Structure 1
Amino acid sequence: MPNTGPEPVDPDSPLEVAVGLVLDATGRVLVSRRLAGRHLAGFWEFPGGKIDSGESAFAGLARELHEELGILVHAGVQCLTVRHDFSECSVALRVFRVTDWSGEVHGREGQEWAWRDPGTLDPTDFPAANHPMFQALVLPHRYLITPEPTSAAEIPTVVEQVQTALARLTSPMLQVRAPSLGRADYRALIEPLYGFAHARGIPLLANAPWAWVDDLPGVGWHLPERRWRECSARPVVSGPVAASVHDAEGLSMATRLGLDFAVLSPVRATASHRGVPGMGWEAFAEQVREAGIPVYALGGMQEGDLERARALGAQGIAAIRGLLG
């Protein structure tokens, strides 16, 4: 957590803090260590600080990063709002993905700082509120969902299509979804995809009863609404856990459960859900800014929508046909 004092605040009015995820040209993220004598002294953090009264979150971020580290922040997009209750205070961390900055980093307050590979960060070195920020740094931008085989005979064709797409896409992630298949046929679908993805370091999430896949090391679990509504805590699985949601209530519930990310839909109306209107990009962006975990856009997405979704704060896009090619 960035520079905040220990003074108590009304839990109904949490301390507003701006946080920056600043990357260098090689993809390393900027971190600094909290000074002795301050709240959470000794922990590493993503830089930022308190937002002044009447100041926008972005203006507060730019001011704090210049005051603390000497850099000029020119552009950024808010991608998370992490709310956390410490023993001393409650905070709302307005997290920005910094997209344009300049200057030479130096600890203007004498603090230690470093550029780190996001994948090697140790969460125990950071305050507890930082978990969603780690996910925002490491999750892929493209979440491919398998098309559903119309019969068991079509499973090999679907497997080939998906493997071809995974080989083409840059840093993808995969959800294996086939709600009409029984256990045996679902295993015939997921096993070759799991082997292909595992060998290439591609995250894979199963959208099926957990008992069907609990013997696959590292597999994640994607929860449709009917499943996450039955949960009282994050399911204990070896891979990432995600949820399909359709509104702010769903995003809030996925955050409270401690899930790793959510897929919010539909952004646009789709042929597969006739009569369901899309929420549109403006409503999508409003919900992403307040979400406590990374969010993917789903519903009529194409590869060409990735840049727009990211510019609105999304982690990326999720799609079947739009990413399958």
Structure 2
Amino acid sequence: MQSIGPDVLDKRADKRKVIHVAVAVILGEDGRILLARRPENKHMGGLWEFPGGKVESGEDVQTALNRELHEELDIQVSTFMPLIKVRHDYSDKSVLLDTWVVGGITGEPKGNEGQLIQWVEKQSLVRYQFPEANKVILRALQLPDRYMITGYFNDEETLFKKVSSALSAGVRLIQFRAHWLDESEYLKLARRLSKRVQTQGGTLIIKGRLSLLMEPWCHGLHLTSHQLGLAVTPERRHADQLLVASCHDEKQIKYSEVMTVDFITVSPVKPTQSHPGAKPLGMDQAAKLTETATVPVFWLGGMSLDDIKGARRLGAQGVAAIHEFWGC
């Protein structure tokens, strides 16, 4: 594990002007996504990208997207769903990628600037080479909008039954939380539960020490805010493992990013039964913290399915919850 010095944590102290870029993930009626390949004679030529361009002064993002899509692809779109905002610092400039999933296409896409375009299945996006800044967009596209955290259970049968029911209902991302168990009992259950979740098409995230990432059965690890103080880059056994972190303030968000997490939870957004003494952030503060992150953010604490749309509109990936998914 590589230690990270304080200089890395201050990497975003740079006050250079940030270029606001509107990015369109164009979704076809068949679920495929339209990519464009940058011409070889341009900056980062030969790489694939999601179409878009700079937002002009006084222009809203949706107008900018349609202007750019008309210029680049000779199309217009009518539906807009925010995906993620992410800042990326290159050696010569900083960009804020304001990314939206768009649809309702009018016109037949074509490369007006001589660029190659191609419709791609979402699961095949990993085969294409993108600019570094696009990698967070790809992760956001792969993540669902709900993250279930397991609640209290008396026995293994109840645990497996509730998790299986959630998977059957469409939940695909689950954190196994059982702080009342000792470590050996917890990990014994986690191994079996991980296999069950994977069989039903989901991913199980566990809690515990960083070295668990080296276990072949571990498909994801959720770090506590206290573990973020370790300031190390954890080694992973395989590339598709997910590393997640709990964050409550901007400092923790920065620590999580230097630890190369795939996404974070920000909490508590609202009052919550599991942590009744914790002061809630409120929607406005949660949105401000989300804007500082460079990875997808799930809002946690008193969240319900009804909050997904509002959280997405304010920049979050979706919501995480215990009671909403687990029941009591």
The verdict on a shared fold, with TM-score over 0.5 as the criterion, is yes
Q: Does the 8 Å CA contact 2:22/2:54 hold for their aligned counterparts? A: yes
CA contact 2:136–2:296 (8 Å) conserved in 1: yes
Q: Could you tell me how far apart the structure 2 residues matched to 1:245 and 1:127 are?
A: 27
Shift of 1:183: 2.0
The within-5 A match list for 1:21-100 is: 21-98=25-102
Q: Tell me how far apart the structure 1 counterparts of residues 197 and 186 of structure 2 sit (CA, whole Å).
A: 16
Give runs of aligned pairs for residues 221-240 of structure 1, distance below 5 A: 221-238=221-238, 239-240=241-242
Q: Deviations over 1:202-225 (max 9, x none)?
A: 111111224457433351111110
Q: Which residue does the alignment assign to 2:158?
A: 157
Cα distance, 1:233 vs structure 2: 2.6
Q: Which moved more, 1:292-301 or 1:91-100?
A: 91-100
Q: Structure 1, unaligned stretches of length 5 or more? A: 1-9
**Distance change >3 Å, CA 21–CA 254, structure 1 → 2:** farther
| Cα distance change on mapping 1:48 and 1:290 into 2, 3 Å | farther
Does structure 1 conserve the Cα–Cα contact (< 8 Å) formed by 2:16 and 2:93? no
Q: TM-score, normalised by structure 2?
A: 0.85
Whichever residue aligns with residue 174 of structure 2, its letter is L
Aligned residue type for 2:265: V
Are 1:259 and 2:266 an aligned pair? no
Deviation at 1:93, TM superposition (A): 1.9
> Match of 1:72, SS?
coil
1:127 aligns with 2:131: yes
C-alpha separation between the residues in 2 aligned to 1:268 and 1:298? 8
Matched, 1:186 2:186: yes
Contact kept, 8 Å, 2:228 with 2:252, in 1: the verdict is no
Aligned counterparts of 1:56 and 1:247: Cα–Cα separation in 2:
29
Distance 1:257 1:215, change over 3 A: closer
Q: d(CA) in 1 for partners of 2:37 and 2:224?
A: 39
Q: Any idea what the Cα deviations from partners look like across 1:126-159, whole Å, max 9, x if unmatched?
A: 111111111111112221111144xxx6343223
Summarize the Cα distance change of 1:290–1:63 in structure 2 as closer, same or farther, 3 Å threshold: farther
Q: Which moved more, 1:179-188 or 1:70-79?
A: 70-79
Letter in 1 for 2:111: G
How much has 1:241 moved relative to structure 2?
0.6
Deviation at 1:311, TM superposition (A): 3.5
Map of 2:300 onto structure 1: 298
* 1:283–1:100 Cα change, 3 Å: farther
What is the RMSD of the two structures over their aligned residues, measured on CA atoms? 2.5
Other-structure match for 1:4: none
**1:77 & 1:48 partners in 2: Cα distance?**
15
Percent identity (aligned) = 36
Query: How far apart, CA to CA, are the structure 2 residues paired with 1:228 and 1:11?
Result: 25
**Helix, strand or coil at the partner of 1:271:** coil
Residue 53 of structure 1, CA deviation: 3.2
Letter matched to residue 80 of structure 2: G
Q: TM-score scaled to structure 1, two decimals?
A: 0.86
* Equivalence map 1:274-289=2 (5 Å): 274-289=276-291
Aligned residues: 312
Question: Which AA in structure 2 matches 1:159?
Answer: F
Q: Does the 8 Å contact 1:176/1:205 carry over to 2?
A: yes
- Residue among 309, 315, 318 paired with 2:317: 315
The 1-side partners of 2:314 and 2:245 are apart by 20
